[in-house]
Chains A and B, each alone.
Chain A
């Protein structure tokens, strides 16, 4: 599903040049659950941003579902993103002014789905995430775990092929964290490819494969399943 080869990303300021990704290559098959680990500054967030088409590499190739997307413009990236990728963030990143229902509905609005169909899809996914009873609440009225469930609901409502999770349990206690990891595992079992950045060895064990990074390159790969 994902093939990246010799990916380079360099951040330049007036005085300093930082190589975030240094000729990184990797592949992710469809249906895989991959965990990316490494110390702070190793480039894992940069990798996730590029995989999520939120940023573009300076050099290298990125093939997503058979399409070379490395140097897509913003318009094409947004288009690709909304149809194929869902995001789960450490700090949930829900919009405070929208209700739970409206937050989850957001990706469907941008894919042009009609109101009735949107309602049906949102309710279905809220039900699945067991958060339907909070549909009219605002994020600040929910617990951390509930907010992350809403975020996961938003990430999957469009049936994306790929979910990118950036430390999804980082702001949660162990109980809620486990709940979220189980949700992700369920989704993966249903066929969704998941790439997760994490510091937690515990969470990494839910994946099929752990890729460890250092200084912008992959250093080891552990296959768990």
Chain B
């Protein structure tokens, strides 16, 4: 019997090609969207879950109060790891992982800047990334050992086999021997960007190790012993830091399990709050809704055309079919259609994945070789078929044979019928997404239009690697002398990032309880010209004219507000055992997020540390010419390193990437939802026109115009869309209001957004149905009435 159901389903599909195409296409788009989202969700859920010992791996975090708020963060003192191993019996071992480091790799004539990590030598024992070559127990024991990923080994040596035992020079200074080759780390892992591992002893050689409990600058991972209780350990950790640093009596620490790192590690006032799981859940809801809408389409189109199946239902019942058998038949048919749609969906997914991966910066793929994929696929298709076919199956199987066979069967056209409710549901969701898309775009533009406070044009920066710092003055002079640059300044970090912040500065009139956290930035002079900063008091650092400027400090407006100086120039600020004198105040500029208010900032003078060289290119030359000359200069004074500059304006634009991505995804989903809904509307409008063919013929004969008939056919659909708009608006308002609360700097929600969304949906649905309405209205009434 199942075979006959599928055979009949195929014949029905072929007989009604138009409707079948609309049905299958709508379902395929819905399924494809759901599949892509589910792939993304899977990627997020398994992120950081590949470790063999993941149930025992934790990350150490700090928890302390600043400005009355409890803050949590996961950079910890370098001394913590060994302290935990010594003091806590629950701990099996700890491993420190430093920030990503970028070294110049030299092998013969080959030069490459590569990103990797300096780690404790037991890194591979804790994280168990598989080694293709080498022993995880000893591979990082030697202070001059290095472990490469397979990809890097091939890049450097042509093959991973050739790499073992080879020597690599780092930063033109130190030789390292390749002692291990690591399988490439998959991209759903926090260490996926690393291409090599260096032993912690190298950090010590570089002077990057310390025993300072106040310097939170590294990540500490903890492997607990089997059956050890992390709750008990967390209780003990509450008092660990005060024990070693009595100046912080209320400073707590805790360990956080690997299972929660990626999705839940967002804290507010000391407690887990939100995190990436919110987006995962949201995407899950969106996937479910898109699939639901596609299924609703299917239900609508199937039941709308029920007259065509009514006779068959009647006959089957007459010859003895039970209702259950008819339900089985219709569900089998819809599972069959879902199967065809599923195959189409896989093709759509495969074609769309490259673009989606580019948009989300992921590497999603379908694991065709995995039996899990096929099993899930079958369940997904069957589930979709059941969902889509359930309502039509029950609806169609309820027909009474005497009514349908005698031709007295008339579809109910009740004021409220399920089909209308389904259309309203579809468009409600679509309109919510349209409103959200508009508001997200507004939020992005609002932040983009916000005055950054400095001039990003023609501003590039380069990290102080190799001999750049040593030859800084020569490089600077030559850049200026050649007319390549109009201003050059050394700074501690790019102008788009905060690399240092802290509290503990002292100034006259400071409240002893004040723990305001200041962004710290350093410059060696002329940053005002280089970056176009606006001074509202005093002047910029100029060491040549004012030698005492080595200990000068500049405040931003927000810092001045905190410090409450009436006369800021000349004030003394004590920090890190030095006394800095204020020489200037600048207008706030955006260092970190354009969505947040500007933080108080202190710009320290030359007696501090530097990491970058900022170059204001001369706009009288083309950028290409400037960069070409700059490269020549850098190559002259830093020959071993490639010239790797970055544009500040591009780095600034990257701050909007996340929101831009969300905006694009929201518009994509809105577009898909509208498309699917319109496919359904199109199908329904064809059917409606067919069903009212006699009525249209009669009206035309009686003198109705094409316009009035078109409106007659369209008005029902427009009413439904209007109802959907009224339901969608408050839901969308609430959702966006909640989302915007995450942004201290945010756009308001305006009434015209809702009007625009309503107008867009009504217009799109009008266009969709009007084609059929006009076609029906211009048809020859005689032809229609004759056949009736």
- How does the 8 Å CB contact mask read for A85-109 relative to B, with 1 for contact and 0 for none? 0010101011101100010001101
B322:A97 contact, CB within 8 angstroms = no
A142: Cβ under 8 A from any B Cβ: no
Residue from A78, A79, A95 in contact with B315 in the complex, judged by beta carbons closer than 8 Å: A95
CA distance A110 to B321 in the complex (A): 6
From B7-15, B225-233, B474-482, B672-680, give the one contacting chain A. Answer: B7-15
Shortest distance from the beta carbon of A7 to any chain B beta carbon, whole Å: 16
Specify which chain A residues have a CB less than 8 angstroms from the CB of B311 in the assembled complex: 93, 95
CA distance A95 to B4 in the complex (A): 13
Closest A residue to B401 by CB, please name it.
A54
Q: Decide yes or no: A75 and B318 within 8 Å by CB, A54-B402, A98-B8, A109-B1 being known contacts.
A: no
B317: Cβ under 8 A from any A Cβ: yes
B405:A89 contact, CB within 8 angstroms = yes
CA distance A87 to B314 in the complex (A): 12
Specify which chain B residues have a CB less than 8 angstroms from the CB of A74 in the assembled complex: 323
CA distance A110 to B322 in the complex (A): 8
A82: Cβ under 8 A from any B Cβ: yes
B653: Cβ under 8 A from any A Cβ: no
A78:B406 contact, CB within 8 angstroms = no
A45: Cβ under 8 A from any B Cβ: yes
Shortest distance from the beta carbon of A80 to any chain B beta carbon, whole Å: 9
Shortest distance from the beta carbon of A53 to any chain B beta carbon, whole Å: 10
Specify which chain B residues have a CB less than 8 angstroms from the CB of A87 in the assembled complex: 318-319
Scan residues 318-344 of chain B and give those whose CB is less than 8 A from a CB of chain A.
Answer: 318-323, 325
Closest A residue to B318 by CB, please name it.
A87
Specify which chain B residues have a CB less than 8 angstroms from the CB of A154 in the assembled complex: 319
A49:B320 contact, CB within 8 angstroms = no
Closest B residue to A84 by CB, please name it.
B320
B111: Cβ under 8 A from any A Cβ: no
Closest B residue to A164 by CB, please name it.
B318
- Interface residues of A toward B: which range? 20 to 34
Shortest distance from the beta carbon of B725 to any chain A beta carbon, whole Å: 35
> Number of B residues contacting the other chain (C-beta, 8 Å)?
24
Shortest distance from the beta carbon of B327 to any chain A beta carbon, whole Å: 13
B312:A97 contact, CB within 8 angstroms = yes
CA distance A45 to B401 in the complex (A): 13
Shortest distance from the beta carbon of A136 to any chain B beta carbon, whole Å: 13
CA distance A143 to B15 in the complex (A): 21
Residue from A81, A83, A102 in contact with B318 in the complex, judged by beta carbons closer than 8 Å: A81
Specify which chain A residues have a CB less than 8 angstroms from the CB of B322 in the assembled complex: 75, 78-79, 110
A55: Cβ under 8 A from any B Cβ: yes
B316: Cβ under 8 A from any A Cβ: yes
A54:B320 contact, CB within 8 angstroms = no
B319:A110 contact, CB within 8 angstroms = yes
B312:A49 contact, CB within 8 angstroms = no
Residue from B11, B316, B402 in contact with A106 in the complex, judged by beta carbons closer than 8 Å: B316
A141: Cβ under 8 A from any B Cβ: no
A65: Cβ under 8 A from any B Cβ: no
A111:B315 contact, CB within 8 angstroms = no
CA distance A52 to B311 in the complex (A): 17
A82:B320 contact, CB within 8 angstroms = yes
B319:A107 contact, CB within 8 angstroms = yes
Scan residues 264-318 of chain B and give those whose CB is less than 8 A from a CB of chain A.
Answer: 311-312, 314-318
Would you mind naming 20 contact pairs between A and B with Cβ atoms under 8 Å apart? A54-B317, A54-B402, A78-B317, A78-B320, A78-B321, A79-B322, A81-B319, A81-B320, A83-B320, A93-B315, A94-B315, A97-B11, A97-B15, A97-B312, A107-B319, A110-B316, A110-B319, A110-B321, A110-B322, A111-B320
Other A-B pairs beyond A82-B320, A93-B311, 14, CB < 8 Å = A49-B402, A54-B317, A54-B401, A79-B322, A81-B320, A93-B405, A97-B11, A102-B4, A106-B316, A106-B319, A107-B320, A109-B4, A110-B321, A154-B319
Shortest 8 CB-CB contacts between residues of A and residues of B: A82-B320, A110-B320, A107-B319, A97-B11, A54-B402, A95-B312, A49-B402, A106-B319
